[in-house]
Amino acid sequence: MLALAGKAVELAVARIESLPGENAWDGEFQEGLERILGEEPPEEGRPAEEVLQRAVEDVLPMTTRLDHPRCFGFVPSEPTWPGVVADFLASAWNVNACT
C-alpha cells in the first residue's frame, strides 16, 4: 500500500510540474480513448501499479486540466496539496458525508 501510494504521489507531483508546458485542453478525445482503450477487458487482474501507470498515461491526459494556469473557463475546485491530502484521508476513512 505504501509503495502504491508513493508511486501515486510521484505521478501527481510530476503532473503538476509539467502543467505549464501543456495545453489546458487538447480538444475532443473520444476517438483517442476508443483507440487506446478499445480492447477487450483482460481475463485476469493486473498489478495495481500497472493499472495506475496506464490510467496516468492513457486516460488522465485526455481530461480538461482544470488546475492549469490557462484554464479560465470553468473552475469547480482548487486542488491545493492540503486539499489533495484531505481527499486522500477522507477516502481512506470512507467518510459518509451524510453523518
Structural domain for 61, as ranges: 2-92
In the Cβ-directed half-sphere of 79, how many Cα atoms lie within 13 Å?
A: 14
Return the sign of the alpha-carbon dihedral for residues 48, 51, 55, 59.
negative
Q: Is the pLDDT of residue 2 over 80?
A: yes
Distance CA 28, CA 64 (A): 10
d(CA 94, CA 88) in angstroms, rounded, equals: 10
Confidence of residue 75 (pLDDT cuts 50, 70, 90): low
pLDDT bin (cut points 50, 70, 90) of residue 73 is: low
Residue (of 1, 3, 13) closest to 56 by Cα position: 13
Q: What is the mean pLDDT of the chain?
A: 81
Residue 98 lies inside a defined structural domain of this protein: no
- Written as nine digits, the cell of 28 is 475532443
Domain count, the chain: 1
